[in-house]
Every structure is written in C-alpha cells, then in structure tokens.
Amino acid sequence: MAKVPSAVVAAGGLVGGYGVARWTRKRQLGGAVLAVAGAAAARQWRERAGGPAAGALTAAYVVAFAGSHPLAKKVGAWPAVLGVAGVVGLASWVVADRRG
C-alpha cells in the first residue's frame, strides 16, 4: 500500500482543520485535525528528509496556520487557507517527497 505524500497530509491538515472548525463551529475540533495531520506530516518529513528538514517544515506549517489569519482579513478565509496550504504542500514536496 502506497503512503500518502507528506505534501498532501500537510496541505490537507491545513484545509481540513479549517473546514472542520468552520462547518462544526468547534474550533477545538478543527485544531485537533490540524494537530494530528501536522504530527503525521512531521513524522514523514523526519523519515524522508531528516530532523533539521522536519523541524523547518514543521515551523513552516505552524507559521502558515498563524499567517492565514491576518491574510484572511485581506483576501478572505478560504483563499488564505488554500494559499498557505499550497505553499506548505509545495515546500513539503520539494524538501521531502520528490526524493522518493
């Protein structure tokens, strides 16, 4: 069984976390989705690219989540979330996924 690329896990965590929080109106539930996906992606990053790369990608994931909030005030919530998810997904693919 093929593994899901870490880029998909990370981007999906950002989009899925926001979607769950918005549609259930429970921010904690969205946060749980975000955290579980982030932890799964970080594990894959560490396995595929090593500790320093995993640390940098994890930081990018957290910064993307935090940065989507002020960005949403300028471009809207969904465009902000999709934009930061795309950036994190691309970074993840470049650093960890394209090697395998």
Per-residue pLDDT of the chain (100 residues; tens, 9 = 90+): 458 999 999 999 999 999 999 999 999 999 999 999 999 999 999 999 999 999 999 999 999 999 999 999 999 999 999 999 999 999 999 999 997 6
With a CB cutoff of 8 Å and minimum separation 6, the contacts of 31 are 17, 21
Coil vs helix vs strand at 85: helix
Q: How far is CA 24 from CA 7, 27, 29, 33, 84, in A?
A: 25, 8, 8, 12, 22
